[in-house]
């Protein structure tokens, strides 16, 4: 069998993470182009029950390392287990999510395997002539995109969330499940998780919202964001922000959209008093429809938006929200 693709199927809160399903969806296409199979690796404690959902999401084979010592993510233990699986499976391409775990694991894994990692990719393709991976990633602060090639195997890449599409899960799909002994000595796990603090979430999660109302520097302060919250509530959406608004602590950092923030792909993205820098657009250009409210008719956001309103948001937004309320009440 020619070499295929291996996906690190990250688990979050006891469930297969969204990024794992996205990587499996994209990995299927890449494996087909390579003429190989799609393998996944599940690592954790009490994760064996997730193997069938990994197969349903597209994997042909799942390696499962289920061990109480793997309950919490620790670099040492995870990297050694995944290294073992990669050596056993022998893939040509290894994919991880650009998550806090993937960012930590990928370079260490690549080093151990004597190869390189391409981080934060937004597109992946196989060169038909060489059958090598061609990952695309933003460079120069998001102002350009570069296509890379890795000379060594396996070719390791991390992929940003929400840029790949999962396939529709098929619970009837068949695949092979292979148990892997973690063979860890407790002393080998040098990092201990002391405390987990869960962020309290009010309303809809930004990354999952179908409508996002984002505010920028032109909002002028935290008070203005109340107006955005009102509109988001009417549309059952979430509030996002540009970096200056987060840096000024007008809204929590977790709501930042963009290159160094979150990537959102809602049906509707309403950008209020945001100029439309390339770094901001890196986080929202995947939205189906962008509506911009800006007082500067020359603002770049109008080049990106399907609908634009030139005006002061303080006048436009309350009127817009009131009209929506009126229409929704009918
Ligand atoms: C490496 C790097 C990473 C970055 N990552 C991110 C990122 O993840 N996300 C991000 O957002 N930025 C990021 N930035 C910053 C980015 O370059 C821009 O500086 C930022 O996006 C600008 O934010 P803004 O549009 O809110 O502010 P500005 O560019 O200052 O625009 C404010 C807009 O508000 C309009 N306005 C003002 N008052 C009103 C009013 N009353 N009514 C209507 N409109 C009004 C103005 O006309 C203007 O267009 C990054 C930069 C770098 C170098």
Whole-number pLDDT of residue 285: 87
Whole-number pLDDT of residue 325: 95
* Confidence check: pLDDT of 201 > 90: no
Whole-number pLDDT of residue 72: 92
Kindly report, residue by residue over 211-242, the tens digit of the pLDDT. Answer: 999 999 999 999 999 999 999 999 999 999 99
Confidence of residue 286 (pLDDT cuts 50, 70, 90): confident
Whole-number pLDDT of residue 2: 62
Confidence of residue 202 (pLDDT cuts 50, 70, 90): confident
* Cα of 44 from ligand 1 centre, angstroms: 40
Residues of the chain with CATH 3.40.50.1220: 206-329
In degrees and rounded to multiples of 5, residue 178 shows phi and psi of -115, 120
Superfamily of chain region 5-188: HUPs (3.40.50.620)
Residues of the chain with CATH 3.40.50.620: 5-188
Mutate to test the pocket of ligand 1, among 255, 275, 298, 308 (most ligand atoms within 8 A of CB): 275
Whole-number pLDDT of residue 1: 52
Confidence of residue 330 (pLDDT cuts 50, 70, 90): confident
Atom of ligand 1 nearest to the CA of 293: 43
281 lines ligand 1 (CB under 6 A): no
Kindly report, residue by residue over 41-84, the tens digit of the pLDDT. Answer: 999 999 999 999 999 999 999 999 999 999 999 999 999 999 99
Atom of ligand 1 nearest to the CA of 242: 11
d(CA 117, CA 50): 27
* Cα of 20 from ligand 1 centre, angstroms: 32
101 lines ligand 1 (CB under 6 A): no
* Cα of 124 from ligand 1 centre, angstroms: 29
Whole-number pLDDT of residue 112: 97
217 lines ligand 1 (CB under 6 A): yes
* Confidence check: pLDDT of 14 > 70: yes
In CATH terms, 206-329 corresponds, of 3.55.50.30, 3.40.30.10, 3.40.50.1220, 1.10.1040.10, to 3.40.50.1220
* Cα of 14 from ligand 1 centre, angstroms: 37
Compute the average pLDDT of residues 19-37: 97
Confidence of residue 326 (pLDDT cuts 50, 70, 90): very high
The answer to whether 213 and 228 are in contact (CB under 8 A) is: yes
215 lines ligand 1 (CB under 6 A): no
Compute the average pLDDT of residues 191-202: 82
**pTM metric for this prediction:** 0.80
Backbone angle region of 227, left / alpha / beta, with phi > 0 → left and psi within -120 to 50 → alpha: alpha
The mean predicted confidence, pLDDT, of the chain is 94
**For the chain, what percent of residues have pLDDT higher than 90?**
83
Kindly report, residue by residue over 246-269, the tens digit of the pLDDT. Answer: 999 999 999 999 988 998 989 999
């Amino acid at each position: 069998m020619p070499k295929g693709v291996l996906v690190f199927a990250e688990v979050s809160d006891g469930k297969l993470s969204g990024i794992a399903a996205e990587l499996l969806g994209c990995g299927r296409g890449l494996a087909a182009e390579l003429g190989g199979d799609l393998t996944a690796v599940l690592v954790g404690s009490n994760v064996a029950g997730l193997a069938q959902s990994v197969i349903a999401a597209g994997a042909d084979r799942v390696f499962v390392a289920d061990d109480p010592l793997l309950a919490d993510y620790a670099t040492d233990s995870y990297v050694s287990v995944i290294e073992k699986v990669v050596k056993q499976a022998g893939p040509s391409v290894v994919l991880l999510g650009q998550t806090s775990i993937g960012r930590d694991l990928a370079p260490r894994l690549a080093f151990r395997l004597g190869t390189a990692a391409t981080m934060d990719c937004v597109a992946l393709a196989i060169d038909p002539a060489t059958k090598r991976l061609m990952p695309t990633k933003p460079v120069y602060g998001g102002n350009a995109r570069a296509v890379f090639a890795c000379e060594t195997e396996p070719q390791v890449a991390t992929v940003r969330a929400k840029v790949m599409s999962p396939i529709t899960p098929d619970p009837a799909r068949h695949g092979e499940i292979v148990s892997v002994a973690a063979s860890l000595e407790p002393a080998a796990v040098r990092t201990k998780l002391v405390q987990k603090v869960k962020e309290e979430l009010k309303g809809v999660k930004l990354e999952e919202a179908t409508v996002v109302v984002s505010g920028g520097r032109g909002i002028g302060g935290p008070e203005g964001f109340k107006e955005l919250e009102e509109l988001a509530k009417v549309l059952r959406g979430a509030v996002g922000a540009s970096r200056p608004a987060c840096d000024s602590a007008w809204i929590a950092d977790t709501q930042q959209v963009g290159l160094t923030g979150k990537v959102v792909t809602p049906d509707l993205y309403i950008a209020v008093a945001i100029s439309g820098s390339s770094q901001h657009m890196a986080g929202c250009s995947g939205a189906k429809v962008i509506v911009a409210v800006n007082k500067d008719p020359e603002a770049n956001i109008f080049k990106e938006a399907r609908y634009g309103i030139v005006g002061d948001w303080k006048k436009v937004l309350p009127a817009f929200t009131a009209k929506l309320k009126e229409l929704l009440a009918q």
